[in-house]
Every structure is written in C-alpha cells, then in structure tokens.
Amino acid sequence: MTKQTRVTIASLFFLIVVILHVYGLLNHEMLAFSTKPLLMVTLVLVYLSAVKKPNFWYVSALFFSFWGDVLLLFKEQFFVFGLASFLLAHILYIKITAGFLKKISLQKVTMVSLPFVVFFFSLLYLIKGNLGEMLVPVIVYGITISSFGAVTLLNYVQEKSTENLWLFLGAIIFITSDSLIAINKFYEPKAMYSISIMITYIVAQYLICKALIVKDSQ
C-alpha cells in the first residue's frame, strides 16, 4: 500500500467520523456521544499515515485532546479534568511551535501578543461574574491558549509559509471554539453553541494536523 493510499484511507475515515458526529449533534444525541472520542483517534491516523517520523509531542497533544473530548462528554462531573487535558495539549502545541522560531525580539513578542491579551481580558470581563471557583482555572487556561495564538502568529510573521498560516489559523479557530465554550457555560447558554463549538474545534485540530504533516515531512 502506497503512502498516498494510506493517507487517503485515513482521511476518509476521519471525514466519515466528522460527518457522523455533526449529524449526531443535529439529530441523534447518542451518535454524537459515541463518535466524539473517534475524532482524535482518526485524526492521529491521518497524521501517522502521512509522516515517516512522527513528532512525539504532537501525538501526545492529540492524546490529551482525546482525553479532553472523553472527559467533556461528562462535563457536569469532569469539566475541570477535561479542561486540564486540553491545557496540557495546548502547552505541547506551544512547545512544538516555539521549536520553529528562530530569532525573536521583545518588540515582536509584544506586538503579536497584544490582540490576544485584549481579547482574553474582554472575554474574562464578560464571564467573570459567573466563574466562581472556576476563576483561577479559566484564567490559567485562557493565558495558555492565548499564548498558543501569539506564538503561532509570531511563527507566521517570521516565515509566511502556507503551513505556518494553517497553524496560525488553527490556533485562532481553537481560541474561537474555547471562547464559545466559555460563553455557553458561564454567560449565555444556547443550543446553537454546541454545534459551533464542535465544528470550530474539528477545523482547528485538522488545520494544526495539516501544518504538522508538512513540517514533519520536510
């Protein structure tokens, strides 16, 4: 079996799981429940089928993302643990992206960080009244994912390649997904947020995967 065939088959499995999951979110709760853990399982198969030497840290990030997905299926009981799993995934994403950086200056770091700082504090101001004991965990998580966004922007500013753009867009869309989770849980719950959260999450993870496939194939 050729590499391209393996990638095509793995990508097809991932696409089928995504379609079934989105359909389940719209029409069949049990289908959505059962397919959610398969999202990262099939995505890691796409990655592993496409690269010769897998990045241990990226596979680990998908591992923690998988457990984040599973734990958030029971968010009433395990929300904090799900948050912790995704926190670890984002820390690994930051580590991976930081490894691509060459020479950086304090001025550039400040410049790329500013929009993320402004967005984070704006969102925190919106939801802080309902956070209660979740205030510290949400602040830690927010700082971490904002740092991921800033590092990917710095990476793209440093080298404007297609894969760096995918990585940056993946981080931005991931921040969007997590922001919708925060708004839905701590500010204004709406049924429409569930599908928006998952679609943005899936797109973000796929873009990050595409970027890492190119990076790890060079």
Q: Which of 167, 143, 196 is nearest to 61 (CA)?
A: 167
pLDDT of residue 145: 96
The dihedral region occupied by 132, where left means phi > 0, alpha psi between -120 and 50, and beta the remainder, is: left
Q: What is the mean pLDDT of each run of 10 residues along the chain (218 residues)?
A: 87 96 92 95 96 94 96 88 95 96 83 93 91 91 95 94 97 96 88 89 97 88
pLDDT at 47: 97
Single pTM value for the model:
0.93
d(CA 96, CA 56): 10
pLDDT at 157: 92
**CA separation for the pair 61, 81 (Å, rounded):** 15
